[in-house]
Amino acid sequence: MKRLRRVHPSSESERNMIKIPKSIYQQMVEHAKKESPLECCGILGGRDHAAKKAFELENVDQSSVRYAMAPQEQLKVFEDMERDAMEMVAIYHSHTHTIPFPSEIDVKLAFYPEISSIIISLKEKDAVVKAFRIGREAIYLEEIEVIP
């Protein structure tokens, strides 16, 4: 088994921080619970590392250990975001039985190192939400600021 890459502590707070309104934060947790035991997945649209809207997508893999978004559905979300002058600020998915840390598959399928990868873990009684930047060389932990 391959070793997990090291998590580097955040250095530039501005770049390594994502702001999420409380309502969107709760929506992601509810989405994760609704789909459990399967993984859920979705996209956060917004601007300047601040989320404005959550788009819930279907996990076409219908799996409890991995997820995949349908390209057609993803395209529609990109169009919706563009119309509302938003950009993709994060991709989120859930881990229904494991800790909130990118799996080997997550690392392999991380095509957007410049946006946040949010993981909602339902392993414990209370959901735990963490954000990462998954780059080619390392995984960076990102701070989540929940805003009103």
Nearer to Zn ion, 16 or 117 (CB): 117
H helix runs in 17-145, sequence order: 22-35, 71-83, 104-108
Q: Which of 45, 42, 19, 18 is nearest to 30 (CA)?
A: 42
* CB-CB contact of 59 with 85 (8 Å): no
Question: Please, what is the minimum distance in Å from the beta carbon of residue 82 to Zn ion?
Answer: 27
| Distance in angstroms (rounded) separating the CA atoms of residues 38 and 55 | 17
Does residue 36 interact with Zn ion by CB under 5 A? no
Residue with tokens 């997820």: 67
Q: Please, which residue, 22 or 123, has the CB nearer to Zn ion?
A: 123
- Shortest CB 139 distance to Zn ion, Å: 12
Q: How far is the CB of 86 from Zn ion (least distance, A)?
A: 24
For residues 51 and 68, give the distance between their C-alpha atoms in angstroms, rounded to a whole number.
21
**Residues in Cβ contact with 142 at an 8 Å cutoff, skipping those fewer than 6 apart:** 10, 16, 17, 18, 116, 131, 132, 133
Provide the sign of the torsion angle of the four alpha carbons 30, 17, 6, 41, taken in this order: positive
Of residues 46 and 100, the one with the C-beta less far from Zn ion: 100
Residue 95 Cβ vs Zn ion, minimum distance, rounded to whole Å: 5
49 or 130, CB closer to Zn ion? 130
Q: Please report, as residue ranges, which positions from 70 to 109 form the binding site for Zn ion (by CB under 5 A).
A: 103, 106
Q: Which of residues 104-133 bind Zn ion (CB under 5 A)?
A: 106
Count of positions on this chain that bind Zn ion (CB under 5 A): 2
Q: Report in angstroms how near the CB of residue 127 gets to Zn ion at its nearest.
A: 14
Positions touching Zn ion (CB under 5 A) are 103, 106
